[in-house]
Amino acid sequence: DQQVKQNSPSLSVQEGRISILNCDYTNSMFDYFLWYKKYPAEGPTFLISISSIKDKNEDGRFTVFLNKSAKHLSLHIVPSQPGDSAVYFCAASVAGSARQLTFGSGTQLTVLP
């Protein structure tokens, strides 16, 4: 039973354009959501997060949107750069769970020069 789903295994975007990565979740107890980026042969690197009391969080070129009613979040990268090419994981956690994370299966983003 996948509680966090990333339905697009891959996404290709032209340099300079917007990348939109999507994530859906089923557990309404999740109260914190995060995006991680992973390069080959490295561990995941934290990118940006959002609390369930917000619907948007921005950090430079990265913005995360949360739609609680739809149980959906998305990561927008504008403008996309070739160095953004990586696997992006969506993750979620429940308050009081020692903050263990439930991850999606990831989306491979390729930014074409």
Residues of the shown chain interacting with another protein in the complex, contacts defined by CB under 8 A: 4, 6, 9, 32, 34, 36, 41-47, 49, 89, 91, 93, 97-106
What is the closest distance, in whole angstroms, from the C-beta atom of residue 44 to another protein in the complex? 5
* C-beta of 85 vs 93, nearer to another protein: 93
Record the tokens describing residue 109, joined without a space: 């983003």
Question: Residue 14 Cβ, how far from another protein at the closest point, in Å?
Answer: 26
Strands 19-25 and 45-51: unpaired
Residue 39 or 81: the one with the smaller Cβ distance to another protein is: 39
Residues 97, 76: Cα–Cα separation, whole Å: 28
The neighbour count for residue 83, using CB atoms within 10 Å, is 9
